[in-house]
Amino acid sequence: MKLLFGNKKEDLLSRLKKQDPAAQKVFYEQNVKKFLSTAKSYVTDLYQAEDCVIKAFCKIFKYIETFRGDGNLEGWARRIVVNECLNFIKSHKTVFYIDDINPAFMIETQDEDPVFDFNAQELLDQLPDGYRMVFNLYVLEGFSHQEISETLKISLAVSKTQLFRAKEKLRVLYLQQQKKMKNEHAQR
């Protein structure tokens, strides 16, 4: 969709700051799919993820005036989406951080040639909430363990442990998924 003010980001930002509905529509359409994907990586229920994105867009448009332009507008807005998801999770108290090592995650696997045909979101959705949140914040959002511990109000050690366990669980899930795919392919 072309607007009278063109597709220049500076023009879009200035129109957003003036609360121009046409600019808001363009920004929404350009980013809603990406932001929903981001939200879905934190909140597995699609309807709840959509609610988080809608609330985030409301905050983005309400507080767009506070965006100083130091960085990328989409990055600033994405951070609002992530924070909205974290607030949702905290308010529903659905995250439990596990301190005991579960031996089931330390399954011995044979060295096999990996097949790189997998659905990453499907694997992430299988992680426990605590693992997934720390993994997403560290790997996808680039948070440090210090930032994660402050954001989630957990210790630095718990943040590091959750990340380690998330990676281990993802490895196990990936290998299980590959084995299943290999068996299905062999049966054809």
Query: What count of other Cβ atoms lies within 10 Å of the Cβ of residue 43?
Result: 25
- Amino acid identity, position 76: W
* pTM score over 0.85: no
- Per the domain annotation, does 160 fall within a domain? yes
Q: Is 162 among the domain residues?
A: yes
Residues 84, 119, single domain; the answer is no
Q: Which CATH number does the domain housing residue 36 bear?
A: 1.10.1740.10
**What are the residues whose beta carbons fall under 8 Å from the beta carbon of 35, sequence distance 6 or more?**
53, 56, 57, 77, 78, 81
Judge contact between 69 and 14, C-beta under 8 A. no
Q: 116 and 161 share a domain?
A: yes
Please name the amino acid found at residue 126: Q
Residue 1 lies in a domain: no
34 with 79: CB under 8 angstroms? Answer: no
38 and 80, same domain (yes or no): yes
| Domain carrying residue 33 | 7-94
User: Which CATH number do you get for residue 178?
Assistant: 1.10.10.10
Minimal CA–CA distance to 71: which of 79, 63, 62, 61?
A: 79
pLDDT in tens, 112-161: 454 555 677 788 888 888 888 899 899 888 889 998 888 888 888 988 99
Does 37 lie in the same domain as 85?
yes
Asked if residue 111 and residue 80 are part of one domain, the reply reads no
Please answer whether residues 166 and 136 qualify as being in contact, where contact means their C-beta atoms are separated by less than 8 angstroms: no
Verify that 42 and 80 share a domain, yes or no.
yes
Shared domain for 51 and 65, answered yes or no, is yes
* Residue 60: pLDDT band with limits 50, 70, 90: very high
Residue at a domain's end among 75, 94, 113: 94
